[in-house]
Amino acid sequence: MKTVFFCPKCSYVGAAEDAEVHICPKCGGALYHTGMDRDAYNTKT
**Measured between alpha carbons, how far apart are the two ends of the chain, in Å?**
18
The residue ranges of every structural domain in the chain are: 3-44
Mean pLDDT, rounded, of the chain: 85
- Would you place residue 29 in the very low, low, confident or very high pLDDT band (cuts 50, 70, 90)? very high
As a whole number of angstroms, the distance between CA 44 and CA 28 comes to 26
Residue 9's alpha-carbon distances to 16, 30, 39, 43, in angstroms, are 18, 9, 24, 24
- Say if residues 40 and 22 touch (Cβ distance below 8 Å): no
- Would you place residue 7 in the very low, low, confident or very high pLDDT band (cuts 50, 70, 90)? very high
Query: What pLDDT is attached to residue 19?
Result: 54
Average pLDDT over residues 19-24: 76
